Structure formats: C-alpha cells, structure tokens
C-alpha cells in the first residue's frame, strides 16, 4: 500500500475541532472540505491536490472522536496521513473511513512543506524523495489493512458480516 505525493506539514497536538470546526459539522461534505485545517494553514484547503500527503507532529487528531474529521481529511483527496503519533480515536477512524495512516516517530525532522514523499503504510516506511531521508514506524495491523482494502469498516462488515455476528 504505497502512496507518493507532495507534503503538507502541520504541528503538534492538533485537535479534530481544528480539522472540522464546530460550525461546519452539520454542513454537507462539499462545504466542510473547503475549511479543513484552514485556521492552521489557509492555503491547505485551497491548494491541496489529490495524492498529497499530510504529515503532522505528536498526538494528531486529539479531542472529539467524531469520524467526520477523518472523512473531511480524506475528502480533500490526500493519499494518506503520517504523524509522529496519532490520538487513538483518530488513528482508528482513519482506517474505518478508508484513509491510510502511518506513525513515524521522527516524521517532523524528515520532511518540509512541499517535499515529495513516498509512504508505504503496510510496511511502515516514510521516504523523503526530495532529501533522500527515510523513517520507519509500526506496520499497520493486517486487520486494519484488510479494512482499508475493503474501503473502510462499514464495507468490511457488509462484505464479511461473520467477523461481527
């Protein structure tokens, strides 16, 4: 499961409240997606392109566990998200909504905004193609990879209900 794209870098302890602000929660996704992370980088929702890669610092996606934050990030078209660490509900939601996620402890030191990155989520490897640097993290659990391949948890449960019944 390999992704290649341009890096958008964000900081530490970013809450889901700042991915999708409270006033947009009930809006349609076409509207929500115009405001993702806009407080932290106003260019991001305007200029993000399909396949780009978001790299954040520690405890990314803390606060509310609502899946809409991960759905909005997926809806921007990014290929995957990397963080030094994720808040656990955010990490869980990424796989459940079909957005590949990888933890790389030193990710912040390895990338700059705009670098070309290659990320292998199932192997747990982040490569900076611009600088040649490389970092690794825990490979995604096979169950989570199966979930991604199915297109998320709801589709997995529909395809293989015996797991949950």
Partner 1 sequence: MAEKILARASGRRSVEPGEIVVANVDRLLMHDLSGYLTSQVYDREVNLPVRYPERVVMVFDHHFSPPTERQADVLGVNRAWARKHAINLLDCGSGNLHHAAVRSGFIQPGMIVVGSDSHTPVHGALGALGVALGNDSHAGTVLPYGKAWFKVPKTVRIEVSGTPLPGASARDVALWLVARIGEGELNYAALEFAGPYVKGLPFWDRWLFPLLCVDLGAKCAYVEPDEVTEAFVQTLPGGPASLDRLERGDSDGREADTVLRFDAGEVGPQVACPPTVGNVRPAAGVAGTPVQWAELGGHGGGRLEDIAAAARVLEGRRVHPDVRFNIVPSSREVFAEAARTGLVLALHEAGATWFPPSTGSNQAYNMGALAVGEAMVSTHARNFPGRNGSPDAEMYLASAATVAASAVAGTITEPQEVAA
**Residues forming the site for partner 1 (CB under 8 A):** 13, 15, 17-18, 21-22, 25-26, 39, 58-59, 62-68, 70, 85-89, 92-93, 96-97, 141, 143, 152-154, 156-158, 161, 163-165
Give the integer Cα–Cα distance in Å for 4 and 46: 20
Is the CB of 117 or the CB of 153 nearer to partner 1?
Answer: 153
For helices 142-150 and 88-96, what crossing angle results, to 10°? 40
Is the CB of 11 or the CB of 51 nearer to partner 1?
Answer: 11
Is the CB of 4 or the CB of 146 nearer to partner 1?
Answer: 146
Q: In the bound complex, what is the minimum distance in angstroms from residue 89's beta carbon to partner 1?
A: 5
Q: In the bound complex, what is the minimum distance in angstroms from residue 86's beta carbon to partner 1?
A: 8
Q: In the bound complex, what is the minimum distance in angstroms from residue 47's beta carbon to partner 1?
A: 21
Which is it for strands 53-56 and 80-83: parallel, antiparallel or unpaired? parallel
Is the CB of 39 or the CB of 49 nearer to partner 1?
Answer: 39
Q: CB under 8 Å to 53, separation ≥6 — which residues?
A: 3, 5, 6, 7, 8, 78, 79, 80, 81, 82, 117, 119
| Structure tokens given for 27 | 């809006």
Asked whether the beta carbons of 51 and 8 are under 8 A apart, the reply is no
């Amino acid at each position: 499961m390999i992704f290649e794209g341009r890096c958008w870098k964000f900081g530490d302890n970013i809450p889901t409240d700042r991915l999708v602000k409270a006033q947009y929660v009930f809006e349609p996704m076409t509207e929500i997606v115009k405001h993702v992370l806009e407080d932290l980088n106003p260019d991001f929702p305007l200029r993000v392109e399909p396949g780009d890669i978001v790299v954040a610092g520690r405890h990314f996606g803390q606060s509310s566990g609502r899946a809409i934050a991960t759905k909005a990030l997926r809806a921007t078209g990014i290929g995957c998200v990397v963080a030094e660490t994720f808040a656990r509900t955010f990490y869980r939601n990424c796989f459940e909504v079909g957005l590949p996620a990888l933890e790389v402890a030193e990710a912040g030191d390895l990338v700059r905004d705009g670098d070309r990155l290659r990320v292998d989520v199932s192997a747990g490897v982040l490569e900076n193609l611009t600088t040649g640097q490389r970092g690794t993290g825990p490979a995604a659990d096979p169950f989570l990879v199966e979930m991604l391949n199915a297109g998320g948890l709801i589709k997995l449960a529909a395809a293989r209900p015996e797991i949950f019944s």
